[in-house]
A and B are shown apart, each in its own frame.
Chain A
Amino acid sequence: GQQVMQIPQYQHVQEGEDFTTYCNSSTTLSNIQWYKQRPGGHPVFLIQLVKSGEVKKQKRLTFQFGEAKKNSSLHITATQTTDVGTYFCAGRGTYKYIFGTGTRLKVLA
């Protein structure tokens, strides 16, 4: 079946350092979404990418969708303590979303 993998599984950074998480699908995706889950909370939608090669920015966050629509990345510039949490990508197959394994980010002040 369809699988979506994310790397790394964990990342510890010093506040101010950059952070990147990568998402890879075993099949071509119609779109990809990114979510953030704070510790003890529920996933919250960040963004959706639809077009091949698409790049979107939200302040310090940059999201990219691969040309083949099988991979994606999330890059955070100059991390802050408020960025702590687990970041998930979710690929849309037919009628359902398949979530990646997530990257847990810890930011050390």
Chain B
Amino acid sequence: DGGITQSPKYLFRKEGQNVTLSCEQNLNHDAMYWYRQDPGQGLRLIYYSQIVNDFQKGDIAEGYSVSREKKESFPLTVTSAQKNPTAFYLCASSDRGPGELFFGEGSRLTVL
């Protein structure tokens, strides 16, 4: 089945630690995105990538980093510089054109 896989589903982190969230898609989509969702709130764009080896900052990129070395993979690292990292993180992909976004099931990060 084609789709987007995020892992892990749940992650606990101590303050001061970096963590990396995985996002893999087999939809052959060019574009991939990372969104952050806080309880009862909308989705805010962290980073996006339109093509391999290229990515751009979204609205809340501070404290996060990404890479896009392969078309199917777009991992997100939440660094210790992110002040409030506890949130629900959603990865999505789309064709390069203005098509629909396909979302993964999300990763819920809790900082202890």
Residues of A within 8 A of B (CB): 1, 6, 30-31, 33, 35, 41-45, 48, 50, 88, 90, 92, 95-102, 104
Smallest CB–CB gap between A57 and chain B, Å? 18
B45 touches A96 (CB 8 A): yes
Collect the chain A residues with CB atoms within 8 Å of residue B48's CB: 95-96
Collect the chain B residues with CB atoms within 8 Å of residue A1's CB: 59
B42 touches A42 (CB 8 A): no
10 A-B pairs within 8 Å (CB atoms) are namely A35-B101, A44-B103, A48-B100, A90-B101, A96-B48, A99-B35, A99-B45, A100-B42, A102-B41, A104-B40
Asked if B95 CB lies within 8 Å of chain A CBs, one says no
B45 touches A45 (CB 8 A): no
Option from B40, B42, B98 in Cβ contact (under 8 Å) with A99: B42
The CA-CA distance from A18 to B60 in the complex, in Å, is: 36
Ordered nearest first, which 8 A-B pairs have the shortest CB separation? A45-B100, A99-B43, A42-B103, A101-B42, A102-B42, A99-B42, A43-B103, A92-B98
Render B9-41 as a binary contact track against A, CB cut-off 8 A, 1 for contact: 000000000000000000000010101000011
Collect the chain A residues with CB atoms within 8 Å of residue B100's CB: 33, 45, 48
The CA-CA distance from A38 to B101 in the complex, in Å, is: 16
Collect the chain B residues with CB atoms within 8 Å of residue A44's CB: 103
17 extra A-B contacts, CB within 8 A, seeds A6-B42, A92-B98, A102-B42: A31-B98, A33-B100, A41-B105, A42-B90, A42-B105, A43-B43, A45-B101, A45-B102, A48-B99, A48-B100, A88-B43, A95-B31, A96-B33, A97-B33, A99-B43, A99-B45, A104-B40
